[in-house]
Amino acid sequence: MSISGVEFVGQQAVAAETAEEAGKIEGRSQWQLTWRRLRQDKVAVGALIVILIMIVLAIAAPAFVAITHHPPNTAYPIQGETEAGNPVPPGTAGFWLGTDGTGRDLFIRILYGARISLFVGFVTTALGTGAGVAVGLIAGYFGGVIDTILARFTDAVLAFPYVVLALALAIVYGPSLPEMIAVIAFFSWAAIARVVRGQTLAIKEKEYIEAARSLGAGPFRIMFIDILPNLLAPVLVLATLYIPTAVVFEATLSFLGLGIQPPTASWGNILADAENFYTVAWWYVVFPAAALLITTLAFNLLGDGIRDAMDPRTERVLASARRRRRGKLKDWVRDANAAGEN
């Protein structure tokens, strides 16, 4: 089964692509409708723009190094520190956002921290989403003993204190980027698996699944061709909302010294260093913290926006509220006119 199944999936993917191309003329697919609704949501569009700016800044970090001539890990004990050895404030000697405790350019270090944060956020979410979808689909579709084992394992992962595991792994293997990605990904799939399993349980009872089985479709074809497309909406929303969690997770681990190790910059370890200087250098705390806050907030708002855009019911609620308001205004105008006539 497995070989022929893979073949069928491949053929289907090609077919889906051609259908997609032809679909551009027809228009109005689920995704186009979602995008149309999302575009009208000002908050979500704002969040998306913020995220895109953040990504561009992170990618362009070396370009800013070329402009400022301040590599991220180079300390400037003369220009970058006061006589007392404290950081210099923003705007001093070409340091746009000031310097950190050892006289390095804070702006450049925040940009390099964004590279780490966004990389960890996207990679762990991709890994976690892939694993979560696979586990959820298999547990939900096959049911029985497989479901019991996978569902209990999912519950166990959700109940596990992640800082304790991260601490233990960091002590045993030494803190490193791959180790941290593995830890965050390991704790990120369970929530998605649970949602996917629940949805799969509901969808597998639909008649179109029975129709696929009566045509002779195998379990993996049914899971990926018939069930998965119906799950993409909730999975995309969950994944978007998981990115900020992973970013904060990374910052937390780095803050505790279990993640990215100095001198490599990360928002978490910048904030950990800033602890010692917050009384004399407000910028040292405020800017990295603001970067973290803005990024996580933007991803959360975008995730909410996508969820609203994908669920047509919310739009209907908004539309009816708008109609109600308009109706009230009409009533008010009519009452006012009536009062004027009397």
Partner 1 sequence: MSITADSDTLVTVENVVKYFPVRTSGLIRRTVGHVHAVDDVTFSIPRGKTLGLVGETGSGKSTLARCIAGLIPITSGKVSFEGTPISGLSRRAMRPFRREIQMIFQDPYGALNPRRRVGAIIGDPFTIHGTATGAERKRQVQELMERVGLNPEHYNRFPSEFSGGQRQRIGVARALALRPKLIICDEPVSALDVSIQAQVLNLLSDLQQDFGLSYLFIAHDLEVVRHVSDTVAVMYLGRIVECGPKDLVYGSARHPYTTALLSAAPAADPDTAASRQRIILTGEVPSPIDPPSGCRFHPRCPKAQPLCSKTEPLLEVKAGDAATHATACHFPVEAGENLAVAGRSQLP
Beta carbon of residue 289, minimum distance to partner 1 (angstroms, whole number): 42
The residue (of 212 and 280) whose beta carbon lies closer to partner 1 is 212
- CA–CA separation, 247 and 335 (whole Å): 55
- Which residues are registered as beta bridge partners of 92? 95
Taking the complex as a whole, the smallest distance from the CB of residue 236 to partner 1 amounts, in Å, to 13
- What is the smallest separation between the CB atom of 318 and partner 1, expressed in angstroms? 21
Nearer to partner 1, 85 or 229 (CB): 229
Residue whose CB is less far from partner 1, 7 or 275: 7
Nearest distance, CB of residue 302 and partner 1, angstroms: 23
In the structure encoding, which two tokens stand for residue 95, read together? Answer: 């340091």
How far out from the chain centre does Cα 276 lie? 31
CB of 226 to partner 1, least distance (A): 6
Rounded Cα gap, residues 33 and 128, in angstroms: 27
CB nearer partner 1, residue 176 or residue 230? 230
Instruction: Judge contact between 89 and 285, C-beta under 8 A.
Output: no
Closer residue to partner 1, CB minimum distance, 153 or 277: 153
Least CB distance from residue 176 to partner 1, whole Å? 40
Tokens representing 287 are 């800017």
Nearer to partner 1, 33 or 75 (CB): 33
Q: How distant is the alpha carbon of residue 340 from its chain centre?
A: 56
Q: Which is nearer to partner 1, 15 or 53 (CB)?
A: 15
Nearer CB in complex with partner 1: 216/340? 216
Nearest to 241 by CA among 318, 179, 305: 305
Which is nearest to 179 in space by CA: 164, 189, 167, 197? 167
Query: Interface residues with partner 1 (CB under 8 A)?
Result: 1, 8, 11-12, 15-16, 19, 22-23, 25-26, 29-30, 206-208, 210-218, 221, 225-226, 229-230, 232
* DSSP state letter for 86: P
The length of the chain is 342
The per-residue DSSP string of 263-330 comes to TS--HHHHHHHHTTTTTT-HHHHHHHHHHHHHHHHHHHHHHHHHHHHH-HHHHHHHHHHHHHHHHHHH
> Which residues lie across from 99 on neighbouring strands?
105
CB of 11 to partner 1, least distance (A): 6
Smallest gap from residue 3 Cβ to partner 1 (A)? 12
- Residue 267: Cβ within 10 Å count: 28
Quote the CA–CA distance of 142 and 147 in Å, as a whole number: 7
Cβ 292 vs Cβ 114: under 8 Å: no
Shortest distance (Å) from residue 36 CB to partner 1: 16
Give me the DSSP letters along 79-142.
TSB-TTSPBPPTTBTTBTT-B-TTS-BHHHHHHHHHHHHHHHHHHHHHHHHHHHHHHHHHHHHH
The residue type at 234: P
Task: Tell me phi and psi for residue 250, to 5 degrees.
Answer: -60, -45
In terms of CB distance, is 26 or 341 closer to partner 1?
A: 26
